[in-house]
Amino acid sequence: MTAAALATEAEAVVSAPHGRRASPIAYLVAAVCIAVIAIMGAPMALSFLASIKTPADASAAPPRYLPQALSFGNYDKVIHYEAGLATYLANSAFVAFLTIAACIVLAAPAGYGLARFAIRGKEIAFLVLLAPIMIPYQAILTPLYLDFAKVGLVNSHVGLAIVHTILQLPFSIYLMRNSFEAIPREIEEAAMIDGCSAWRRLLHVFLPLAVPAIVTVALFAFINSWNEFLAALIFMSREASFTVPILLVSVRIGRHGAVDWGALQASVIISIIPCLAVYLALQRYYISGLISGAVK
């Protein structure tokens, strides 16, 4: 049973008229949905509880799941850590914005050409474009670092955004191509009769109709760029250039090398908030774009 079907059954239970009993299956589906929500939400709830513990509670053995006393010192430590939380958030947001822009600008024309033009060998070209998905991206970071060092892109947010774009672009092209293929041919033919060139058809016909797919590409690019750690660790060595994932690793170091669990969980909660906010704002487009673009 798909997630959409589960949601439909759950809505039926909630919206069932008072005079009519819902079926046992509907109650079962609602119970399963509640259980899934509880299981998925439990780590976040425990992480938040850990972030407001005192150092003694956070390091207690056996662990105490509920704080004995509330303390927001962990958040204060994260906010004022080294260069400051605002610097790390700004760095991550800038890199993510550049990644989103590059993915959309490159994936939209590529997907349009692969979906709408009779190009000899385009299926082979499409497979070649998708091939990097099958290669662990860790394998290409060292060659990229050596090349970027020659052109001065190490310790550069633009360079890091290029790396993130390289990692995200194959999936973005795949999504945009399938989304453009789902648009009826009659719409394109009507635009051609009106005298629209290929670029005008892309800009004024296809892109407005593919807004859900574009939002999906942007959301995937944002989340992957925001959470990417290894490339940021390799390409960035200046404190003021670090992104949020590097902050998570750095702030966890407590006294005498021990792990500061409270500060670590506080930084985790802070790093989740932008992703959660973006997803909640765009989820309507994201779901429709993922279904229309990724499933033919």
Residue 198 above 60 pLDDT? yes
Residues 67 and 127 in one domain: no
Residues 45 and 91 in one domain: no
Residue 3 CB contacts under 8 Å (≥ 6 apart), including other chains: none
Residues 138 and 195 in one domain: yes
Q: What number is the average pLDDT over the span 156-162?
A: 94
Contact between 163 and 138 (Cβ < 8 Å): no
Residue 223 CB contacts under 8 Å (≥ 6 apart), including other chains: 275, 278, 279
With respect to residue 111, please indicate whether it lies within any of the assigned structural domains.
Answer: yes
| Measured CA angle at 168 (ends 277, 209), to 5 deg | 70
Residue 154 above 60 pLDDT? yes
Q: Residue 109 — very low, low, confident or very high, per pLDDT cuts 50/70/90?
A: very high
Q: What number is the average pLDDT over the span 114-132?
A: 85
Residue 258 above 80 pLDDT? no
Chain segment 277-288, per-residue pLDDT in tens: 888 888 777 666
Residues 61 and 99 in one domain: no
Q: Residue 252 — very low, low, confident or very high, per pLDDT cuts 50/70/90?
A: confident
With respect to residue 282, please indicate whether it lies within any of the assigned structural domains.
Answer: no
Residue 259 sits at φ, ψ, to 5 deg, of: -80, 125
With respect to residue 178, please indicate whether it lies within any of the assigned structural domains.
Answer: yes
Residue 289 above 60 pLDDT? no
Residue 40 sits in which domain range? 14-78
With respect to residue 240, please indicate whether it lies within any of the assigned structural domains.
Answer: yes
pLDDT for position 2? 46
Residues 127 and 214 in one domain: yes
Distance, in Å, from the CA atom of 231 to the CA atom of 133, rounded to the nearest integer, reads 16
- Report cis status (omega within 30 of 0) of the bond before 62: yes
With respect to residue 294, please indicate whether it lies within any of the assigned structural domains.
Answer: no
Residues 92 and 220 in one domain: yes
Q: How many domains does the chain have?
A: 2
List, in sequence order, every residue forming a beta bridge with 253; answer none if it has no partner: 259
Q: What number is the average pLDDT over the span 195-208?
A: 88
Q: Residue 263 — very low, low, confident or very high, per pLDDT cuts 50/70/90?
A: confident
Q: Supply the DSSP string of 221-265, one letter for each residue.
A: HHHHHHH--HHHHHH--SGGG--HHHHHHHHTB-GGG-B-HHHHH
With respect to residue 223, please indicate whether it lies within any of the assigned structural domains.
Answer: yes
* Whole-structure pTM value: 0.81
Residues 58 and 91 in one domain: no
Domain boundary among 61, 78, 95: 78
Residues 113 and 180 in one domain: yes
With respect to residue 283, please indicate whether it lies within any of the assigned structural domains.
Answer: no
Residues 71 and 108 in one domain: no
pLDDT for position 131? 84
Q: Residue 159 — very low, low, confident or very high, per pLDDT cuts 50/70/90?
A: very high
Looking at every residue in the chain, the average pLDDT score rounds to 84
With respect to residue 201, please indicate whether it lies within any of the assigned structural domains.
Answer: yes
Q: What number is the average pLDDT over the span 182-191?
A: 86
Residues 62 and 86 in one domain: no
Domain boundary among 63, 78, 93: 78
Residues 95 and 240 in one domain: yes
Residues 66 and 130 in one domain: no
CATH code of residue 248:
1.10.3720.10
